Amino acid sequence: MPSNERIFVQAIRSYCARHGIAIDVRADGWLIAMDRGKTRRFAFGYDIGLNSAIAHRLANDKSATSEVLALTGVPAIAHHLFLNPKLGEQIAGPRWWEAMLRLLLQNPQGLVVKPNEGTAGRSVIKVTGSAELEQAVSEIFAMSLGLVIAPYVEIEDEVRVILLDETPMAVYGKERPSVTGDGVQTLRELAAAMPKVKLDDLDTRALDAVVPKGERRVLTWRHNLDAGAKPVLVADGELRTACAKLAIDAARAVGITFASIDLVRVDGAWQVLEINSGVMMEALGKLYPDLVQATYDAALDRVFG
């Protein structure tokens, strides 16, 4: 087994070895064929094939997810879709830029611009002015056929719920990277120990200031695990119950069977941020390997059930 193989692939290998299932790993682990007798199943990316095609497409489209949740009354962060003008005026519309500027005017606290499809927080850009908005839109349209714009909100907490058949298999918070001051080093020096964390959201003055001893400073507004956030399991109790219920409501709305659902608390109220049809638990697996293996095992039991 390659040492750099994804935890997702390792988990499937382990399951197949224990259940007498032949496995053929292709394309560096992004395509996996699993054979038991005359039964063949595939895993592609982080998707093991439990979800219907329409549920998969809805979940992977941030705008569609937002619209479906609004239709069913599930509280969620609104995501407004804009199609790449290279597709032509009849598809993208003639006044898309004016519509973006209206959103900026309606949300003076800022906007978040991101590809309509995609995970791990890639190309997620916060903007507060028209010049920043134009730059972000140009960057994303250069590599994507569509983008979404959401209002920037102060997220108090973010929780991910892994659901299988409406059962919460794992519920964990995303603890943003932070440092604690020693009264000697600057914020930039303290953050140097966290190379994965981008500091482009902090101005030079803040970065070059000495952090007073004992003071905690959060380094980014992003909660992405790939950007340095840490998964922390949510214990049984009111918080876990409330998050599981909201995630189940969201899963029912799009008709999805196996998914990771991101929830955010804003002004004390929980809302759905997005739904992912591919269940990625790489960061969680490094800290809680047994939980991740058990979750994939249960899902694969459904695949071969």
pLDDT, tens digit (0-9, with 9 covering 90-100), for 200-254: 666 677 777 888 888 787 776 665 666 667 889 999 999 999 999 999 999 999 9
Question: Pick from 231, 282, 262, 224: which is nearest to 76 by CA?
Answer: 262
What local confidence, expressed as pLDDT, does residue 221 receive? 62
What local confidence, expressed as pLDDT, does residue 2 receive? 56
What local confidence, expressed as pLDDT, does residue 50 receive? 95
Q: Is the pLDDT confidence value at 145 over 70? A: yes
- Domains of the chain and any CATH numbers: 78-152 (3.30.1490.20), 182-215 (no CATH)
* pLDDT tier at 280, thresholds 50, 70, 90: very high
In angstroms, the CA 69 to CA 27 distance is: 35
- Whole-prediction pTM: 0.86
Classify 80 as helix, strand or coil: strand
CA dihedral 16, 17, 23, 27 (to 10 degrees): 90
* Distances 162 to 245, 260, 296, 300 between C-alpha atoms, Å: 12, 4, 10, 14
Q: What digits encode the pLDDT tens for the residues 114-123? A: 999 866 556 7
What local confidence, expressed as pLDDT, does residue 133 receive? 95
Q: What is the mean pLDDT of residues 34-40?
A: 94
Query: Residue 140 has which token pair?
Result: 């994303």
Q: Is the pLDDT confidence value at 5 over 70? A: yes
What local confidence, expressed as pLDDT, does residue 282 receive? 93
